A = this chain, B = another copy of it.
């Protein structure tokens, strides 16, 4: 049906290579279809200025794209001298999504710094990044617990992201790049394991959409998130219990 043979409500195959880097406190390479994102979590014993002496922690994210992640080479942001508006938008989204499911008070005055680097881009890089980053963050927190640096439950829920869109009159789940670039409406949804919304970002690229279509898209997204959280649950299993979640 779809160019890659998927049903309209089917997500692409997901593969995860957990702990792929030796230096990072948490790391994984997540592949959803042909989109490939390297997610790492670094724990720093300091917080931004506005949190000093509050006893509270922080989670922040940076997002990058390797030059040949894309069909045409994308110039490095270290060469253009500044991150693009798109980059800022995405890293703020990742940070907010992860902060929604962590108890920052129990984290103490620490920062979890997430890095999401796109190795190959084929649609959905920001939602793939969120889905992977959650696991990398959980792994970094587990390591802190093992070292007796953290106590008690920190994670309040799972969190994952998925895209939906209106393409050629049809609502599709988890758009690949070809679909995304033809979409009339493009939504990125971030939800928790218990089915609540963390972020709803819908944009009419050309044709505004009505409430009925919005509801259908949210419904599709919910089905996709369920599967992604299922996968996270499988990966984290005992460990997340270790966090007394």
A interface, CB within 8 angstroms of B = 21-24, 27, 34, 38, 40, 42, 44, 62, 64, 66-71, 73, 76-89, 91-92, 96, 100, 113, 115, 117, 119-120, 157, 187, 191-192, 194-206, 208-211, 214, 218
Give the Cβ gap from A63 to chain B, nearest Cβ, in Å: 10
- In the complex, what residues of B have CB within 8 A of residue A64's CB? 66, 76, 78
- Contact between chains at B120 and A22 (CB < 8 Å): yes
- Contact between chains at B68 and A23 (CB < 8 Å): yes
A-B contact pairs, 20 of them (CB 8 A): A21-B120, A23-B69, A23-B120, A24-B68, A27-B68, A38-B66, A67-B115, A76-B78, A78-B82, A85-B88, A85-B91, A86-B88, A89-B89, A96-B203, A96-B205, A100-B206, A187-B200, A196-B208, A199-B204, A200-B202
Give the secondary structure class of A's interface: mixed
Considering the complex of A and B, which 6 residue pairs feature the smallest CB-CB distances, nearest first?
A: A85-B88, A77-B78, A196-B208, A24-B68, A40-B68, A200-B202
Rounded to whole angstroms, the CA-CA distance of A91 and B84 in the bound complex is 12
Rounded to whole angstroms, the CA-CA distance of A43 and B191 in the bound complex is 41
- In the complex, what residues of B have CB within 8 A of residue A209's CB? 196-197
Instruction: Known pairs A62-B76, A96-B203; list 17 more (Cβ under 8 Å).
Output: A23-B69, A40-B66, A42-B68, A64-B66, A64-B76, A66-B115, A73-B115, A76-B77, A77-B78, A78-B80, A85-B89, A196-B209, A197-B211, A199-B202, A199-B203, A200-B201, A211-B218
Indicate which residue in B23, B78, B79, B84 contacts A70 across the interface (CB closer than 8 Å): B23
Give the Cβ gap from A159 to chain B, nearest Cβ, in Å: 9
